[in-house]
Amino acid sequence: MKSILVEFARFKNLGTGILREGDDYLRSITSHRVHQVRIPINQLPFSQLMNSLRYVYKDKHEYDDAFKSLSALVTDLLRRQDYMDVGELLDKLKSSCEEGNEALLQHVAQLLQQHDKASFLEEGPLLEEVNKNSDKLQQIDLVTNAAELSALPFEAALANDDKPLFLSGKGVVLTRRVRGVFRDFTPHWPITPKVLFIWSAAGGSVPHQEHKDALLNALKPWLPPQNIDKVFVEIGNAKYRDIEKITCEDGFTHCHLLAHGQQIDRKNDKRFGIALDHRIEGADVITPDALCKALEGIRSSAVVVTLAACDAGNQTDVINPDKSVAHLLHTSGFPVVIASQLPLTKFGSEILTRRFYGDLLNGLDVREALHHTREELYDNQSNAGHDWVSLVGYVQLPEGYNDILEEVRLKSHLNSLKNLRDRAEALARVGASREEFEAIGGDLIKEIEALNKLLAKTKEMRALDENRGLLGSAEKRLAELLFRHIGDDAAKAASREALNRACKWYKEAFDANPSHHWSGVQYLALQAVITGKVDANMWKTAYRAAEVDRVRPSEYWAQGSLAELALLGTLIGEPTDETAAFYLQEMRARFKVVQARKPDADNPLQSTGLQLRRYEAWWLTANGFFPDSIDLADEARELIPLCRQE
């Protein structure tokens, strides 16, 4: 994603300050010349405009005027600049004199024209930069070190057509950050999520069940059949000490807080805090500093904090012009903080949770997830008001972020396929209806469609191998579901088509990377099942690749490939150095050593056992497989006990 750096700077103390009409700031946009911009408003009238956008105000004219004024303010600051600074003026006059009177008169005429418009602002380079890549989603990376500028609703900026800037071209996502205040260590971006959901109704009712459902739905690919607290933990009616206690646990990667924002209302502190439960007083308004301290325990692991709370991003307090909750959390070390700088509707908070986490945990770029959320809020203004403007995102991404995303996406789809397989097996054990299996088939088709779309975006070679392999696995699991659990003639015909597609994907993966023996073995297995033949040259290539991997003392996946190659080799008279049983016993012994160190390591015995059971119960000559050959059911049946867990 192209990123357009926009930075505002001023001198002296950057941590505190208020807006003053006439104060000058330096604004830089990518590599363009630095320009001076001027604040046209004082803090008090600015705060009054922001207050007019609060939903408690019923005066629509006042609201419209305030929105228009604030939008014009941030549009000018981002896009426009003084028509000419002193240096440019001197340069122009000097060159005009050298070129003659005509050039000088032309330049003076331009100045007079600007004067007649009562404006000495001209279009800066921002739209020029945006238009260079308007066919793709882009980021405006906004750096505002001065505290008072962080209070401005830059998200309301307009483009040339008076439509929101974020809708320009294929989209523009504005994110904020502060330069030079991040801790030396920031957490590694995780592949597997673990979400902490904290909510409190101390300030009034909150839609906690809707938020929980949205989070669990987003986490669906990652949820295990039991013990969901490995990936999702909920703390309801949370007290401050509850948060301190739970954040001592390791491994939380995302934190979603749902509560009411309330003004602190203490002497010299009118900032907005978070209302949590209190044993005696009912509501305990936690300051931004206190919330940062409470979440300190997850700072080494959590990369995303979302605050579905009114005014969590508000920074307009004149008495104490310190940081908002979101700003403080970000500068304390959380790479991504999403919040609202104005009151957030319940409807809008549900969109935020559902859309943002749905996209993010499916492997989308956090900036893309933020943009999609803002788009949906904008499209639902009748219910969500101006929540699309209120939404602010502080974002600081690590190097290599795009590579991480590809791995997250593929891991997400792999987990989805495993979960759908487990659901199908569970339904089969209880004799579920055809409709229930068809629903799983529908989910598998959605996974296949998503993987096909992802394939077009994937560039890194290893990720391409994984993607093709996952497409093969998804089609194979769809074929199995159709044949074994639905089983009528139409389903069996569709199953055969899915198997053919799976075979094609596995072959593509192996052709692209012959060292990837797993995809080669999957192709050879389906080739034998569908045609009754095995390509001897490809068998030898896969065998050599698996033996190369097997040499590593800690390797155990290659043994599964070798065991299956031993079975397939009997069809073409090609022996392996060891028997299939030997390879499986070696796999079990090596995995046992690894499992002692990593109890959550993926179990190769389970996946190998599943494949062998396909030979035993599905890929039979009686079912039309292995034409003009013999099936491998008896051989597989003897090996299956070796794959059972101790």
**Residue 331, pLDDT score:** 87
What is the tens place of the pLDDT at every residue in 68-118?
999 999 999 999 886 555 455 556 556 656 666 666 666 666 655 554 444
Strand order in the sheet with 282-286: 260-263, 272-278, 282-286
Q: Average pLDDT, whole number, for the chain?
A: 87
How far apart are alpha carbons 250 and 31 in whole angstroms?
42
Concatenate the DSSP letters of all residues of 404-427 into one string.
HHHHHHHHHHHHHHHHHHHHHHHH
Tokens 């219910």 appear where? Answer: 383
* Overall average pLDDT of the 192-216 stretch: 93
Query: Comparing 75-79, 110-114, 269-273, 364-368, which segment has the lowest mean pLDDT?
Result: 110-114
Is a pLDDT exceeding 60 seen at residue 353?
yes
How far apart are alpha carbons 556 and 592 in whole angstroms?
10
Q: Identify the band that residue 226 occupies on the pLDDT scale cut at 50, 70 and 90.
A: confident
Q: What is the DSSP letter of 481?
A: I
Kindly report the number of other CB atoms within 10 A of residue 281's CB atom. 9
**Residue 586, pLDDT score:** 97
**Residue 420, pLDDT score:** 87
Q: 429 is written with which tokens?
A: 């054990």
* Overall average pLDDT of the 617-642 stretch: 96
pLDDT, greater one: 242 or 90: 242
Is a pLDDT exceeding 70 seen at residue 64?
yes
Cβ distance 146 to 17 under 8 Å? yes
How far apart are alpha carbons 506 and 514 in whole angstroms?
11
What is the tens place of the pLDDT at every residue in 562-583?
999 999 999 999 999 999 999 9
Residues 6+ apart with CB under 8 A from 511: none
* Overall average pLDDT of the 17-30 stretch: 90
Tokens 């070129």 appear where? Answer: 99
Cβ distance 444 to 467 under 8 Å? no
Q: Using CB atoms within 10 A of its CB, is residue 344 exposed (0-12), middle (13-18) or buried (19+)? A: buried
**Residue 539, pLDDT score:** 98
Cβ distance 306 to 257 under 8 Å? yes
Residues 6+ apart with CB under 8 A from 265: 285
Q: Identify the band that residue 269 occupies on the pLDDT scale cut at 50, 70 and 90.
A: low
Task: Tell me the percentage of the chain whose pLDDT exceeds 70.
Answer: 87
Q: Using CB atoms within 10 A of its CB, is residue 114 exposed (0-12), middle (13-18) or buried (19+)? A: middle
Q: How many residues make up the chain in this entry? A: 646
- At 262 the three-state DSSP class reads strand
How far apart are alpha carbons 567 and 570 in whole angstroms?
6
Is a pLDDT exceeding 90 seen at residue 122?
no
Query: Comparing 3-12, 96-105, 135-144, 318-327, which segment has the lowest mean pLDDT?
Result: 318-327
Question: Angle 341-346-352 (CA atoms, 0-180°, nearest 5)?
Answer: 65
pLDDT, greater one: 343 or 531: 531
Concatenate the DSSP letters of all residues of 586-606 into one string.
HHHHHHHHHHHH-TTS--HHH
